[in-house]
């Protein structure tokens, strides 16, 4: 009775849908299984969708995808209690084709993307939880779901079930992640009329801004916050590694509340109406946490494989690209009718040769460095705010003297050697 497919993809997020889309496009018989009421119904993202990897799958997607705003400005805030040092870039070349990136609401975007996979011939079923892979003779041959008569079979099962992938854990591909390998993030969607958003963020038409906030947004703990503009709402969120949260006894919703009331943030939200509250984990272990990604009859993609660049808040693009690489490997494997680990390792090779693993490798020590040496967030950011304040306050002191005084106060607090050491360490972690 149970049907056999070429490919079963578990999870209709960007990784799974990308894989299903590309497999179906190549004529494979694909079943895409999603546990939510519809794709995206439970998915969470700050909201920046990168043009490049999406375009590789669907050229000129911006002409029809449900996007919020093209991002024309990116700001970075180093925030203290009552001050902020900011830098950023705004450029109108980002307001025209081919654009740079967009804000999106995942509940809409994922649904649209999954529909595209369906148009390519993938079969999508919702409200169905995959409970385990069916393994026979050391090979994954299908999945078992929570539905009556719930088995389905395939040559390859692709696990795109997101961060904390229970399915790849069951297969023994990875251990339980440590609290310093995942970030707990909470966010809120706040409705605000379009003209208010455009006024407050100094925007025209559908242009959008993203603000990444460091420092006091996490009360000095390792993590970041963000404030992004949608068409008629704002996404605001904050997260830190689970270990920081435990250590500092932070409650995520309290942190978000603190951020929303912060005097630097509050004016942007004024009068807005909270529409949605979401919480989600982000895999931030990076290079050192990437699990086994290929086995006999099985591949792991996206967040399930810990493919997130936390420093650059890139995740959805890595998910899509990895899904596409998995699809390419499956198409090749199908030609040889060989779905062994050896054959499917084509995916692993592609992944490790791509920007994904290269970027993760570049930053492999960053999170660890910043977590082990909390001074960056706890001391240097406030120092920077004080320095700026001093430098720009006009009080009759000559500028050169101000510079000296600033340097003196920084090194006095920490010692010249210590400061140099910290700078070198930070540079090494992100170079």
Partner 1 sequence: MHIVVCVKQVPDTKIIKINPKTNTLDRRSAPAILNPYDAHAVQEAVKIRNKTGGTISVLSMGPPQAVAVIKKSVEIGADLGYLISDRAFAGADTLATSYALSKALEKISKDNPIDLVICGKHAIDGDTGQVGPGIARRLDIPPITNVIEVSEVNKEEKYVHIKRKQIDGYEVIQSQLPCLLTVEKEINDIEYAPLTNMINAARYEPVIWSVNDLEDVDKTQLGLKGSPTIVGKMFSPPKLEGGKRIEGSTDSQVEQLMGILMERKDLLKIKTANS
Ligand X SMILES: Cc1cc2nc3c(=O)[nH]c(=O)nc-3n(C[C@H](O)[C@H](O)[C@H](O)COP(=O)(O)OP(=O)(O)OC[C@H]3O[C@@H](n4cnc5c(N)ncnc54)[C@H](O)[C@@H]3O)c2cc1C
Binding to partner 1 by CB under 8 A, coded x per residue (else -) over 134-153, reads -----------x-xxxxxx-
Site residue total, ligand X (CB under 6 A): 39
Mapping DSSP onto H, E and C, the string for 286-326 reads HHHHCCCCEECCEEECHHHHCCCECCCCECHHHHHHHHHHH
Decide whether 129 or 388 has the Cβ nearer to ligand X.
129
12 interacts with ligand X by CB under 6 A: yes
* Contact yes or no for 21/116 (Cβ under 8 A): yes
Backbone angles phi and psi of 10, in degrees to 5: -100, 115
Q: Which residues, in sequence order, are bridge partners of residue 279?
A: 186
Candidate list 243, 316, 343, 385; residue touching ligand X; CB under 6 A? 316
168 interacts with ligand X by CB under 6 A: no
* Contact yes or no for 238/251 (Cβ under 8 A): no
User: Distances from the Cα of 362 to the Cαs of 18, 396, 429, in angstroms?
Assistant: 25, 45, 8
43 interacts with partner 1 by CB under 8 A: no
* Contact yes or no for 11/161 (Cβ under 8 A): yes
Backbone angles phi and psi of 200, in degrees to 5: -65, -35
- The minimum distance between CB 141 and partner 1, in angstroms, equals 16
Decide whether 26 or 108 has the Cβ nearer to partner 1.
108
Binding to partner 1 by CB under 8 A, coded x per residue (else -) over 96-125, reads ----------------------x----xxx
Residue 125 partner contact from partner 1, ligand X, none using kind-dependent CB cut-offs of 5 to 8 Å: partner 1
Site residue total, partner 1 (CB under 8 A): 17
Residue 315 partner contact from partner 1, ligand X, none using kind-dependent CB cut-offs of 5 to 8 Å: ligand X
> 360: exposed, middle or buried (C-beta count within 10 Å: 0-12, 13-18, 19+)?
buried
Site for partner 1 in 15-34 (CB under 8 A): 31
Q: Which residue has the tokens 């992640």?
A: 177
The footprint of ligand X (CB under 6 A) covers: 10-16, 33-36, 39, 42-48, 129-130, 160-162, 185, 187, 237, 280, 282, 302-304, 308, 313-317, 319
The footprint of partner 1 (CB under 8 A) covers: 1-3, 31, 118, 123-125, 127-128, 145, 147-152
């Amino acid at each position: 009775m149970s049907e056999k497919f070429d490919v079963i993809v578990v999870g209709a997020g960007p990784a799974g849908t990308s894989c299903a889309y590309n497999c179906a496009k190549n004529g494979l018989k694909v079943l895409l299984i999603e546990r939510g009421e519809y794709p995206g119904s439970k998915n969470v993202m700050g909201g920046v969708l990168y043009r490049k990897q999406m375009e590789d799958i669907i050229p000129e997607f911006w002409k029809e995808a449900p996007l919020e705003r093209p991002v024309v400005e990116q700001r970075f805030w180093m925030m203290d209690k009552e001050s902020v040092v900011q830098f950023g870039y705004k450029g109108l070349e980002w307001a025209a084709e081919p654009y740079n990136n967009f804000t999106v609401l995942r509940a809409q975007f994922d649904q649209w993307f999954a529909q595209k996979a369906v148009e390519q011939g993938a079969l999508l079923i919702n409200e169905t939880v995959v409970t385990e892979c069916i393994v026979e003779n050391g090979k994954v041959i299908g999945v078992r779901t929570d539905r009556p008569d719930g088995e389905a079979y395939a040559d390859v099962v692709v696990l795109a079930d997101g961060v904390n992938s229970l399915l790849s854990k069951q297969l023994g591909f990875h251990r339980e992640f440590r609290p310093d390998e995942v970030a707990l993030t909470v966010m809120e969607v706040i409705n605000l009329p379009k003209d208010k958003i455009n006024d407050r963020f100094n925007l025209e038409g559908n242009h959008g801004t993203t603000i990444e906030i460091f420092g006091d947004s996490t009360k000095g703990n390792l993590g970041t916050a963000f404030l992004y503009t949608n068409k008629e709402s704002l996404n605001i969120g904050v997260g830190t590694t689970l270990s920081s949260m435990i250590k500092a006894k932070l409650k995520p919703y309290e942190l978000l509340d603190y951020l929303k009331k912060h005097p630097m943030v509050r004016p942007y939200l004024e009068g807005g109406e909270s529409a949605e509250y979401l919480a989600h984990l982000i895999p931030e272990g990076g290079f050192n946490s990437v699990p086994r990604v290929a086995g006999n009859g099985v591949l792991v993609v996206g967040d399930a494989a810990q493919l997130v660049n936390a420093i650059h808040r890139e995740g959805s693009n890595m998910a899509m690209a990895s899904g596409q690489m998995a699809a390419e490997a499956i198409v090749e494997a199908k030609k040889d009718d060989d779905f062994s680990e050896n054959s499917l390792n084509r995916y692993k090779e592609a992944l490790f040769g791509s920007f994904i693993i290269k970027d993760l490798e570049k930053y492999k020590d960053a999170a660890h460095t910043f977590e082990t040496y909390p001074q960056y967030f706890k001391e240097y950011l406030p120092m920077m705010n004080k320095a700026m304040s001093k430098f720009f306050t006009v009080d009759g002191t000559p500028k050169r003297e101000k510079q000296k005084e600033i340097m003196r106060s920084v090194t006095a607090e920490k010692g010249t050697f210590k400061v140099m050491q910290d700078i070198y360490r930070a540079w090494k972690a992100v170079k």
